[in-house]
Amino acid sequence: MTTTAFGLQRQFDETMILPSQRLGPLRESVIREMTRLAIQHNAVNLSQGFPDFAPAPEIIAAAQRALGEGFNQYVVSWGDPDLRQAIQNYMQKWYALAYDATRHITVTCGVTEAIVATLMATVHSGAEVIIIEPYHENYLAACVFADAQPVFVALEPPRYELDLDRLRRAFSKKTRAIILNTPHNPTGRVLTRAEMEGVAALCREFDAICITDEIYDQIFYVDRAHIPMATLDGMYERTVTIGGLGKTFALTGWRLGYACAPETLTPAVRTVHDFMTICAPAPLQRAAVTALSMPDAYYAQLKRDYRLRRAKMMELLEQAQLRATAPEGAYYVLADFSEWAREMDDFQFAEYLTKQVGVAVVPGSSFYHTPGLGKTQVRFAFAKKLETLDAAQERLMRARH
Ligand SMILES: Cc1ncc(COP(=O)(O)O)c(C=O)c1O
């Protein structure tokens, strides 16, 4: 029997053959563990980043139709042709990006798999990959699987701007790739054109690949639109543009993502994907064509709804004296709890909030590699019904007063 960071008991037979050393520092996802702890303690779950509201009914109906119409066997490994065409159309329509369904697009089991497949397909063993921290925990795991050497560059509160001088110092001859996530989980930053240009210039100078995570491309609160890295000068050839349907269409359990890569890299990405998963779920790929055909009004409503959720989130943080910078995009906020509980670290505070207050959050330091960072922060996810956020507000207020 072993005990995890939050005291969950796990069966472990000490006489078992030990797992591979390859996993090194990797341990179970703290975020997923928080969700289990939330269930155990009946807490409002603002830890894991999934919507607690339903997807659009026409998307659900399309999935039901697909099951009935016989889309139940493997499809071509790199994706249902109609879905790849829909992704091609999406990229063209929103970003004027010319990715070709046949030559450039691979449908994957979520962005998670797309990141792993891309790193394994493009990064040579031992090469360096730059990760901006705080980071989505999957990036380090992907580096471990790909036998890549992660190099971390931190964004600092409260503005979380990308310090291009610091980033330059992280680049070297050994740099093969940088993973760039905008809109950003967990800070909510939407990188400016100047920041994107700065990254692009370094990628060109050091002949590095940019692997982007654009899963929140439709969720932002600022006037500037999302800028895909591949649209910048000289970047199309050296960028793998990764996106997914889970967040935009509230379908995180469907496990659908995609990687759009230049022709030089696509066969390698497809090979890794093929041998890891064969293909993403076939009937859900059919239904995803309907999702990607939603009218513009869907995206406008999405932004309006998220604005309301963000306003509610910021209001409840303010009332609870949890200090936070309002996110520019995505659906998370990192909040500093030192005015509430100076004596606790982030794991203790997350545990206290979950077990005693009844609101589950994620410890800030789990998004950082550099020791000491994130120790006074926790992350709240607000892709939730307003009633859910109200319930969290009520519990936080009760604990505060
Ligand atoms: C930045 C980022 N990338 C990737 C993922 C996972 O995406 P998927 O569910 O498509 O694997 C998440 C989920 O929270 C995320 O925040």
Q: Which distant-in-sequence residues (6+ apart) come within 8 Å of 235 by Cβ?
A: 200, 203, 204, 210, 229
Give pLDDT, residue 6: 64
Q: What is the tens place of the pLDDT at every residue in 355-395?
A: 999 999 999 999 999 999 999 999 999 999 999 999 999 99
**Last residue of a domain, which of 228, 262, 292?**
292
Regarding whether 8 and 93 lie in a shared domain, the answer is no
Residue 160 has pLDDT above 60, yes or no: yes
Whose CA is closest to 369, among 193, 149, 89?
149
Domain that holds residue 121: 57-292
Overall domain count for the chain: 2
Q: Residues with Cβ within 6 A of ligand 1?
A: 49, 110-112, 136, 138, 181, 185, 213, 215, 244, 246, 252, 257
Domain stops at, among 244, 277, 292: 292
Nearest C-alpha to atom 2 of ligand 1 is from which residue?
136
CA distance readout (Å), 319 to 23, 44, 337: 42, 17, 12
Task: Tell me the per-residue pLDDT of 75-86, one tens digit each, with 9 for 90 and over.
Answer: 999 999 999 999
Q: What is the structure's pLDDT at 241?
A: 98
Ligand 1: centre distance to CA 50 (Å): 9
Burial tier of 136 (Cβ tally within 10 Å: 0-12, 13-18, 19+): buried
Cβ distance 324 to 334 under 8 Å? yes
The alpha carbon of 13 and the centre of ligand 1 are apart by a number of angstroms equal to: 32
Q: What atom in ligand 1 is closest to the CA of residue 115?
A: 4
Per-residue pLDDT, averaged over 227-245, amounts to 98
246 and 306 share one domain: no
The mean of the pLDDT values for the chain is 95
Average the pLDDT over 327-333 and give the result.
Answer: 98
Greatest Cα-to-Cα distance within the chain, rounded to the nearest angstrom: 60
Q: Which residue lies with its CA nearest to atom 16 of ligand 1?
A: 185
Say if residue 203's pLDDT is above 70. yes
Is 240 in the same domain as 378? no
> Is the per-residue pLDDT at 1 higher than 80?
no
CATH code: domain of residue 383: 3.90.1150.10
User: 68 and 42, same structural domain?
Assistant: no
What percent of the chain has a predicted confidence (pLDDT) above 90?
Answer: 90
**pLDDT of 38-68, one tens digit each?**
999 999 999 999 999 999 999 999 999 999 9
pLDDT (0 to 100) of residue 10: 56
Please tell me the distance between residue 226's alpha carbon and the centre of ligand 1 in angstroms. Answer: 17
pLDDT band at 22 (very low <50, low <70, confident <90, very high): confident
**Count of CB atoms situated within 10 Å of the CB of 53:** 13
Shared domain for 345 and 261, answered yes or no, is no
H or E element, residue 91: helix 81-95
Distance CA(22)–CA(259), nearest Å, equals 25
One domain for residues 90 and 42: no
Tell me, in angstroms, the distance from the centre of ligand 1 to residue 68's CA.
29
Which among 268, 292, 316 is the end of a domain?
292
Mean pLDDT of 225-247: 97
Of 46, 189, 213, which is best to mutate to test ligand 1, by the most ligand atoms within 8 angstroms of its C-beta? Answer: 213
Are 133 and 269 a contacting pair, CB within 8 Å? no
Q: What is the pLDDT of residue 14?
A: 61
Q: What spacing in Å lies between the alpha carbon of 357 and ligand 1's midpoint?
A: 27
Residue 18 confidence (pLDDT): 83
**CATH number (domain holding residue 176):** 3.40.640.10
Ligand 1 pocket, mutate which of 136, 179, 189 (most atoms under 8 A from CB): 136
- pTM here is 0.94
Pocket test for ligand 1, best of 108, 216, 247, 367 (most atoms within 8 A of CB): 247
pLDDT class for 331, splitting at 50, 70, 90?
A: very high
CB 185 within 8 A of CB 364: no
Q: Which of 25-29, 209-213, 302-306, 375-379 has the lowest mean pLDDT?
A: 25-29
Judgement on whether residues 103 and 12 belong to the same structural domain of the protein: no
pLDDT for 269-327, tens place per residue? Answer: 999 999 999 999 999 999 999 999 999 999 999 999 999 999 999 999 999 999 999 99
Per-residue confidence band for 29, with pLDDT thresholds at 50, 70 and 90: confident
Q: How confident is the model at residue 32 (pLDDT cuts 50, 70, 90)?
A: confident
